[in-house]
Amino acid sequence: MSKMHLEKNRLRNPLVHCITNYVTVNDVANMLIACGGAPIMADEAAEVEEMTTICDALVLNIGTLNERTVESMLKAGKKASELGHPVVLDPVGAGATRLRTETALRLISEIPMAVIRGNISEIMTLYHGTGSTKGVDASIGDAVTEDNLDEKISLARGLSINTGAVVAITGAIDIIADGRSAYVVRNGHPMMSKVSGTGCMLTAVIASFVSASPDDKAAACASAISAMGLSGEIAHERLMKSGGGPSTYRSYIIDAMGTLASDVLEGGTRIEAR
Amino acid sequence: MSKMHLEKNRLRNPLVHCITNYVTVNDVANMLIACGGAPIMADEAAEVEEMTTICDALVLNIGTLNERTVESMLKAGKKASELGHPVVLDPVGAGATRLRTETALRLISEIPMAVIRGNISEIMTLYHGTGSTKGVDASIGDAVTEDNLDEKISLARGLSINTGAVVAITGAIDIIADGRSAYVVRNGHPMMSKVSGTGCMLTAVIASFVSASPDDKAAACASAISAMGLSGEIAHERLMKSGGGPSTYRSYIIDAMGTLASDVLEGGTRIEAR
Amino acid sequence: MSKMHLEKNRLRNPLVHCITNYVTVNDVANMLIACGGAPIMADEAAEVEEMTTICDALVLNIGTLNERTVESMLKAGKKASELGHPVVLDPVGAGATRLRTETALRLISEIPMAVIRGNISEIMTLYHGTGSTKGVDASIGDAVTEDNLDEKISLARGLSINTGAVVAITGAIDIIADGRSAYVVRNGHPMMSKVSGTGCMLTAVIASFVSASPDDKAAACASAISAMGLSGEIAHERLMKSGGGPSTYRSYIIDAMGTLASDVLEGGTRIEAR
């Protein structure tokens, strides 16, 4: 399944319009190219509808939102969904400030999202309509573990039912759910948390995969998450051989995605259907 | 010729004021240092005239333009040209949205540009006053090939005559033309298209080179393009030895420019005067 | 001393709110993680007070200031200082434009800063209330040398007495002073000046260290500067072995900080109390 999704993504080469934060935007652009998509960043209200029209998917990432870009997100999101393009939300820091929580809630109420991807704290915030995220990282007490998997899958499914979106909770263990199906992904490496922006990069990869395989969005989303996690694993093996630290590791993750053979993905993917 | 231009650039160490997109800005800054220039980014209308006054050249890159920064571009551009500083335009995405096309056309009508550098789709858009660029990448059908070189040189020359700027069309084969002379550059490596921002970086390198060698802007521009392409070639050779993917390659390109000996450039340059 | 400060920083893992320039923001985020802190970037006036409340320290970096973000800096700075969080100012380009000089002076007059870190030109500008910085790099004539150390320490002390902040002048030789104590740090490598953003990264590391060791801010600041400089030294040794240029070196600096053992820091630190 992952193999097919990666191959379709590389074949279709989706152009992904990103309204995203300026912290990790360069890595998002390079990761999109690496996975088989193509990036375009444009956040001015006067052009986002026209820009998103020529694209295949849209990422809305609120990591460094401001009044101007929130307006652009709303405009672009409505246009993209009108055109049937998948819209993927990354609610960075929802729960940390009222502005972020309210903006994320407003975006999901006004725009039919294809996928919402966040950490557990962000997704809980969206589900409950309120929350307390510590900055942009998930609160430790909420982490998804083997013991509470079913409960967290229910949470994802609940938000999916409320919004119509595939919901992905990512962390050490990743959960993907919609109203019908659920997947658990166990790829990845703990050191990925030492690299700023792996979440943002993943969101863009998801948008690309879902655009290339629109018939089963939850499965395509799981494949994207697995491909990203496996890239982190492959990069870590390479790092152990070459030596180095977090910045070399960051490069290696993008390298791994850029050179990931679909057969290697198929062999290394750890997706469990639930 | 390239040797002299690179040496002059390193000797004069031009301070290049960039109003550029936030996607690739860090690579632009590091590439400018690597080639022998120095970067300063400033995009607030209240300071751009003063800032550009203490600089040697100005880059206007519309990759993530917005209303605020377009105003700053106009102010900075007028001031810089008044002072005789070369102004270099990178019309990222011209043809993709009306805002981008109109902004690029307005910038070239209100500011005497020293150089306009874009891909073939962007340059065609500026020449015809309208166009259809797919995102920020050139449309494949328009690509410069050995077969249509003369026609594309005429295009570049046409835009040069209309604007007074040296016009550079970059891609697999690069064309540089003004009203008198034309150059074709055949350096570079196809993998450079897998790295976000090589075009933006190149635009800044051109600004630096043209500032350091103002007496023959077209030739200095050709040398800058050749130096960038050769850096991509050297980086690719290194990548084939070390292994790695697109992110390592990105670093290697900047490394190659940072360590490019002028004799190596002279030996590897592939500039043809037409 | 450095050992203890590094260990405390890693133990306490301060969340550092950064309102910083978009040129080097990604490196700032990754360097913060590497040193033991955690980054959050947020610059919208409507949320900065709430965001800074859940953080442990605040960085104000005026590298790409604009009207909107200056307002956010003032709001965040006042809130953070009310809460007793250390606020660290990086007056990038003060002296280069009136806007930058006036903004930096306004920030230090309205917000009690814990630390002000700049190059010699920027610090002279703040001390004298006016200046002429060439872009974002220090003017060569003003450089701190062994011969003028006492004079430059007096300058730092003077600005410290005027503002209540620890003042750090960084360059080939680094000076840290407050009203009581002064330190000279001789770590670092000249090639660090070939990497865009080492100053911005350092400012964020200082904020993290000072937040983790609030009882002696000047000493914690000296340790942070020494840790950054030593990372530059270690990275350079590695670069001499592996080969490469400025971009590889940039990665290696972040890698070195991310893997810096506290005993190695203690052994390599070159801090002189004056």
The answer to whether C218 faces chain A, any CB pair under 8 Å, is: no
Which of A96, A98, A196 lies closest to C33 in CB terms? A196
Structure tokens at B151: 């026609």
Q: Do C29 and A26 touch (CB under 8 A)?
A: no
Q: Which amino acid is at A174?
A: D
Asked if residues C174 and C188 have their Cβ atoms less than 8 Å apart, the reply is yes
Is the per-residue pLDDT at A35 higher than 80?
yes
Q: Do A96 and C39 touch (CB under 8 A)?
A: no
Averaged over B40-67, what is the pLDDT? 98
- Distance (Å) of CA B207 to CA B76, C116, C246: 15, 33, 20
Helix axes B25-35, C246-258, angle to 10 degrees: 120
Cα–Cα distance between A146 and B19 in angstroms, integer? 49
Question: Which tens digits make up the pLDDT trace of A61-72?
Answer: 999 999 999 999
Confidence of residue A140 (pLDDT cuts 50, 70, 90): low
Beta pairing, strands A182-185 & A174-177: antiparallel
Q: Which CATH number goes with the domain that contains A87?
A: 3.40.1190.20
Chain C residues closer than 8 Å to A98 by CB: 47, 50
Residue % of chain A over a pLDDT of 70? 96
The torsion angles phi and psi of B237, rounded to 5 degrees, stand at -60, -45
Confidence of residue A88 (pLDDT cuts 50, 70, 90): very high
Residue % of chain A over a pLDDT of 90? 95
Residue burial C259-273, b: 16+ Cβ < 10 Å; e: rest: ebebebbbebbebee
The answer to whether A106 faces chain C, any CB pair under 8 Å, is: no
Q: Which residues pair with A168 in a beta bridge?
A: A117, A176
Q: How many CB pairs under 8 A join B and C?
A: 94
Closest-CA residue of A relative to C50 is: A97
The answer to whether B54 faces chain C, any CB pair under 8 Å, is: yes
Cα–Cα distance between A23 and C259 in angstroms, integer? 23
Cα–Cα distance between C73 and C88 in angstroms, integer? 11
Is the per-residue pLDDT at C130 higher than 80?
no
Where are any strands of DSSP class E within chain C?
Answer: 15-19, 38-41, 57-61, 87-90, 115-118, 166-169, 174-177, 182-185, 271-273
Averaged over C140-153, what is the pLDDT? 91
The set of residues, in sequence order, having a beta carbon less than 8 Å from that of C13 and lying 6+ positions away, is C36, C37, C38
Q: What pLDDT does B184 receive?
A: 98
The answer to whether B73 faces chain A, any CB pair under 8 Å, is: no
Cα–Cα distance between C129 and C102 in angstroms, integer? 8
Which of B33, B54, B258 lies closest to C96 in CB terms? B54
The set of residues, in sequence order, having a beta carbon less than 8 Å from that of C116 and lying 6+ positions away, is C88, C89, C91, C108, C123, C126, C159, C163, C165, C166, C167, C168
Maximum alpha-carbon separation in chain B: 49
Which of B15, B29, B255 lies closest to C248 in CB terms? B255
Averaged over A77-98, what is the pLDDT? 97
Structure tokens at B164: 């007074």
Q: How many CB pairs under 8 A join A and B?
A: 94
Tell me how many domains chain A contains. 1
Averaged over C42-56, what is the pLDDT? 98
Question: CA of A51 to nearest chain B CA: how many angstroms apart?
Answer: 6
pTM tops 0.95, yes or no: yes
Structure-token match 């088989």, residue found:
A36
The set of residues, in sequence order, having a beta carbon less than 8 Å from that of B28 and lying 6+ positions away, is B18, B20, B39, B59, B61, B197, B200, B201, B203, B204
Which of A29, A46, A256 lies closest to B99 in CB terms? A46
Helix axes B98-110, B67-82, angle to 10 degrees: 20
The answer to whether B88 faces chain A, any CB pair under 8 Å, is: no
SS3 content of chain C, % helix, strand, coil (to 5): 55, 15, 30
The answer to whether C15 faces chain A, any CB pair under 8 Å, is: yes
Q: Do B98 and A43 touch (CB under 8 A)?
A: no
Closest-CA residue of C relative to A96 is: C51
C170 annotated binding-site participant = yes
The answer to whether B128 faces chain A, any CB pair under 8 Å, is: no
Is the per-residue pLDDT at C131 higher than 70?
no
Q: Tell me the residue range of the domain where B147 lies.
A: 2-273
Is the per-residue pLDDT at A258 higher than 80?
yes
Q: Which residues pair with C90 in a beta bridge?
A: C61
Question: Which tens digits make up the pLDDT trace of C57-85?
Answer: 999 999 999 999 999 999 999 999 999 99
Helix (H, G, I), strand (E, B) or coil at B183: strand
Asked if residues B136 and A40 have their Cβ atoms less than 8 Å apart, the reply is yes
The answer to whether C76 faces chain A, any CB pair under 8 Å, is: no
Strand order in the sheet with C166-169: C38-41, C15-19, C57-61, C87-90, C115-118, C166-169, C174-177, C182-185, C271-273
Q: Do C93 and B40 touch (CB under 8 A)?
A: yes
Q: What pLDDT does C136 receive?
A: 64
Question: Which tens digits make up the pLDDT trace of C184-221?
Answer: 999 999 999 999 999 999 999 999 999 999 999 999 99
Structure tokens at B232: 């991509």
Which of C15, C44, C252 lies closest to A99 in CB terms? C44
Cα–Cα distance between A97 and B123 in angstroms, integer? 44
Q: How many CB pairs under 8 A join A and C?
A: 94
Which of C15, C25, C41 lies closest to A134 in CB terms? C15
Q: What pLDDT does B129 receive?
A: 87
ipTM score here? Answer: 0.96
Question: CA of C174 to nearest chain B CA: how many angstroms apart?
Answer: 22
> Cα torsion at B192, B193, B195, B197 (round to 10°)?
100
Residue A7 exposure: Cα atoms within 13 Å on the Cβ side: 10
Chain A residues closer than 8 Å to C40 by CB: 93, 96, 135-136
**What is the overall mean pLDDT for chain B?**
96
**Sign of the CA dihedral with B238 first, then B240, B244, and B248 last:** positive
Chain A residues closer than 8 Å to C55 by CB: 135
Confidence of residue A235 (pLDDT cuts 50, 70, 90): very high
DSSP summary character for residue C190: G
Which of B22, B97, B244 lies closest to A50 in CB terms? B97
Chain B residues closer than 8 Å to C99 by CB: 44, 46-47, 50
Q: Do B99 and A15 touch (CB under 8 A)?
A: no
The torsion angles phi and psi of C169, rounded to 5 degrees, stand at -105, 115
Residue A150 exposure: Cα atoms within 13 Å on the Cβ side: 1
Residue C180: other Cβ atoms inside 10 A: 9
Question: Which tens digits make up the pLDDT trace of B119-173?
Answer: 999 999 999 986 666 566 767 678 999 999 999 999 999 999 999 999 999 999 9
Give the best residue of A15, A33, A255, A259 to mutate against chain B (max B CB count within 10 A): A255
Is the per-residue pLDDT at C93 higher than 70?
yes
DSSP summary character for residue B134: B
